[in-house]
């Protein structure tokens, strides 16, 4: 019945900065752009970014007066986007060369290593390396 995650939605007030981060730093590619002219919050601009069969839908209401800031507290719902990496240390070194530092980690366990970075809006992105024998 269920096949896969189709996409993850990411609402931002700074779409160009967000798109540049996901493409330039994380290696996503732009698939397409769309605009929905009429929504209750005004026009909605969409950019679909892909990486390894997963799509992030970057959403922006360019004419909105304000977007409530994200709470620093945990909330019900999605907590982060997680990306699998081949080599945690190498991935963190490449990200640091691009000006992106780990928010925490890496934490290395018997079966995996984990770390977290943040996108330009502060959204958490987990990095996970699985140790498979």
Q: How many CB atoms lie within 10 A of CB 32?
A: 10
Q: Starting at the edge strand that comes first in sequence, how are the strands of the sheet with 7-11 ordered? A: 7-11, 54-60, 44-51, 29-36
CB of 119 closer than 8 Å to CB of 18: yes
Q: Which CATH superfamily is domain 81-130 in?
A: 2,3-Dihydroxybiphenyl 1,2-Dioxygenase, domain 1 (3.10.180.10)
CB of 17 closer than 8 Å to CB of 120: yes
Q: Where in the chain is the domain with CATH 3.10.180.10?
A: 7-60, 81-130
Residue range 59-72, pLDDT digits in tens: 998 887 766 555 55
Mean pLDDT calculated for residue range 3-14: 84
- At residue 55 the predicted structure's pLDDT band, cuts being 50, 70 and 90, is very high
The residue with greater pLDDT, 64 or 127, is 127
pTM score of the predicted model: 0.80
Residue range 84-98, pLDDT digits in tens: 999 999 999 999 999
State the Cα angle at 125 between 116 and 52, rounded to 5°.
125
Whether the per-residue pLDDT at 133 is higher than 90: the answer is no
Query: Which tokens hold the place of 108?
Result: 């290395």
pLDDT at 18: 94
CB of 17 closer than 8 Å to CB of 60: no
Give how far the C-alpha of residue 40 lies from the chain's centroid of Cα atoms, to the nearest Å.
25
What is the DSSP code string of 8-54?
EEEE-S-HHHHHHIIIIIT--EEEEEEEES--TTS-EEEEEEEETTE
Q: Which CATH architecture has domain 7-60?
A: Roll (3.10)
**Residue reference for tokens 């900065």:** 17
In whole numbers, what is the pLDDT of the chain averaged over residues?
Answer: 87
């Amino acid at each position: 019945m269920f096949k896969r995650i189709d996409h993850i939605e990411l609402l931002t007030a700074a779409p160009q900065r967000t798109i540049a981060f996901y493409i330039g730093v994380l290696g996503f590619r732009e698939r397409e752009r769309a605009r929905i002219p009429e929504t209750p919050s005004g026009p909605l601009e969409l950019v679909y970014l892909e990486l390894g069969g997963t799509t992030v839908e970057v959403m922006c209401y360019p004419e909105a007066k304000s977007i409530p800031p994200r709470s620093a507290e945990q909330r019900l719902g999605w907590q982060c986007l997680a990306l699998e990496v081949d080599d945690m240390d190498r991935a963190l070194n490449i990200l640091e060369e691009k000006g992106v530092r780990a928010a925490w980690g890496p934490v290395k366990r018997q079966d995996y290593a984990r770390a977290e970075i943040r996108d330009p809006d502060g959204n958490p992105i987990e990095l996970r390396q699985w140790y498979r024998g």
